[in-house]
Structure 1
């Protein structure tokens, strides 16, 4: 069973759903069906959602492969926290919060990607 990965997949799915709903809300508010209509607020919401969709699956795949290969349980929680915290921080920073939040969010996800990839390679070649 992949309960650790499942936990973070569920949390990430809720974040992605909230980001998608925000895009729809802004599209309705501004009457924009496709693209961003030149609206910076909508462009940022689209990118926050898109960025989450781009990074989340790869990190979750790494986590599932690690969990399936008996990867360190504490490390899995660390990668999951970096994923969820990073996605929240990045979205907040992109949609009006401090730029530093966006920067820390993407760094958190890069750390999860790099550490997860190295961890998996170590398990594969051990």
Structure 2
């Protein structure tokens, strides 16, 4: 049997997992507070909580999969830690930007999404060239 160890990806997967649970709990908190069983009930703050969680669930799995493939293929510890830190930091920024209402441009949210794209594009390119 051939076992694969992915210690760097595992660190960021665990930390992202904690973030996903925190964001899911936040959705539950908002729904209970507004007495909403399903959806957002027309409440903007509930919708923002749902989208903060949903957007994280849309980007994190693909980014972690690409990181895992990169780690398996010898992508380099430093690169993996950079990608992991960007992913986690970006997701935290995005969540903050979504959950703290702003009336105008939202730099934390924008930076958060851009960092997720950087991780996905960077790991994808690196996988193609190694």
Instruction: State the TM-score, normalized to the length of structure 2.
Output: 0.92
SS in 2 for 1:35: coil
Task: State the 4+ residue runs in structure 1 displaced beyond 6 angstroms.
Answer: none
Question: Could you say what the CA RMSD is over the residues aligned between the two structures, in angstroms?
Answer: 0.9
Unaligned 5+ segments in structure 2 are none
What is the match of residue 59 of structure 1? 63
- The correspondence for 2:107, drawn from 100, 106, 112, is 100
Which residue of the other structure, out of 4, 13, 16, is the alignment partner of 1:12? 16
Structure with bigger helix share is: 1
Q: Which residue of 2 aligns with 1:111?
A: 118
Aligned residues: 123
Equivalent in the alignment of 2:39: 35
Q: SS at 1:59's partner residue? A: helix
CA distance in 2, matches of 1:39, 1:96: 15
Residues 97 and 8 (structure 1), Cα distance of their counterparts in 2 relative to 1, 3 Å cut: farther
